[in-house]
Structure 1
């Protein structure tokens, strides 16, 4: 049971990190895409 809860918490942590990195990349790429389109 302890292993299961540990595995779940690490999975959610990985998900949060991926979400955070994706948001940073998106915020960095958005101005570049807008500059290219104009």
Structure 2
């Protein structure tokens, strides 16, 4: 049970981090294209 909970949390954080990275990369592209 504990291992499954840990895996669920790991994948949840993984999805959140990947989403944040995507948003940050998109912002960087917009800033570069804006200049």
TM-score (norm 1): 0.73
Count of aligned pairs: 29
RMSD (CA atoms): 0.4
Aligned twin of 2:20: 14
Give 5+ residue unaligned stretches, structure 2.
Answer: 1-6
Give 5+ residue unaligned stretches, structure 1.
Answer: 30-38
- Larger Rg computed on CA atoms: 1
Runs of 4+ in 1 over 6 A off after TM superposition: none
